[in-house]
Amino acid sequence: MLPVAQPGDDDAPRNDLSIDQGPQGALAADPPLHPTEDFLAELADHSARLESATPKEILAWAVERFAPRFSMATAFGPEGMTIIHMLSEVAPETPIFNLETGYQFKETLELRERVKDRYGIEVEFKYPATTVEEYEAANNGPVYKTDPNRCCFARKLTVLHQAAKGLHAWASAIRRDQSPDRAKAPIVGWDKKFQLVKVSPLANWTKADVWKLILDNDIPYNPLHDQGYPSVGCWPCTRAVQLGEDERAGRWSGFQKTECGLHN
């Protein structure tokens, strides 16, 4: 039998990265939302229809269909910033949160303040059960150096599972052209890992589309993007990339890892 992750014991070393804390995501919502065959077929229909919609139209549909149980998790990347900008126009009351692992760049934390100043939107920090100091003390040092999967599990995935409880749907900022892992993302689909409807309004957008919207509208963005960091995560696991490298090559450099586990 696989070990069971419990809330609060994320500093305990473990080998498996499974989560079993009872009903998850939309199954824990009031009312619960179940991925029945009919519901999945309905989502597939919406997804096909929304292929030709603009990201803003997709967001407006998601808000209409799922609010107030609709949310967004953001790491304040360029894509996330465009979604925040669009939400400020179509549904500024949408709750938005950030996984504050304790390892984020100061520029990222400052961006949260800039979002508040620009849009009046307060992005909520969601924290792991332990501080960085407690986590590292319990694990004889930084886990990201030896086992980033376990570190991401403890400091991001368990937190996200908790945050997802009770929601029906959330917005993701992924683009299909970002990586092979993301290439098949539907506009609307069922996220098995988090048991939620996942809406990806930018699935059909390119990096150029994202930056055009940012520059045309003076949307705040992380200054690290101007310093050779196309993708910004936690500081220990992010480096600047060289010309010609993949835009996610600077994440978990030196490890066979390209995703934190949220989108794959």
CB-wise, 95 or 233, nearer to ligand SF4? 233
Q: Which residue has the tokens 């009919």?
A: 38
Q: Smallest distance from the beta carbon of 164 to ligand SF4, in angstroms?
A: 17
Q: Smallest distance from the beta carbon of 192 to ligand SF4, in angstroms?
A: 21
Respond yes or no: is residue 260 known to be catalytic: yes
Which among 15, 260, 262, 263 is annotated as catalytic? 260
User: Do residues 238 and 250 lie in contact, with contact meaning Cβ atoms separated by under 8 Å?
Assistant: yes
Q: Smallest distance from the beta carbon of 38 to ligand SF4, in angstroms?
A: 37
151 is in an annotated binding site: yes
Q: Which of 148, 189, 220, 250 binds ligand SF4 (CB under 6 A)?
A: 148
State the DSSP string of 55-96. HHHHHHHHHHHHTTSEEEE----HHHHHHHHHHHHH-TTS-E
Tokens for 182, please give them: 């993301």
Tokens for 109, please give them: 């934390």
SS3 196: strand
Binders of ligand SF4 among residues 156 to 185 (CB under 6 A) are 156
234 is in an annotated binding site: yes
CB-wise, 152 or 214, nearer to ligand SF4? 152
The 96-99 sheet, strands edge to edge:
124-126, 96-99, 70-73, 169-171, 196-199, 188-191
Residue nearest to ligand SF4 (CB): 234
153 is in an annotated binding site: no
The residue among 222, 11, 256 whose CA lies nearest residue 129 is 11
152 is in an annotated binding site: yes
Residues of the binding site: 151-152, 234, 237
Where on the chain is the footprint of ligand SF4 (CB under 6 A)?
101, 103, 144, 148, 151-152, 155-156, 233-234, 236-237, 260
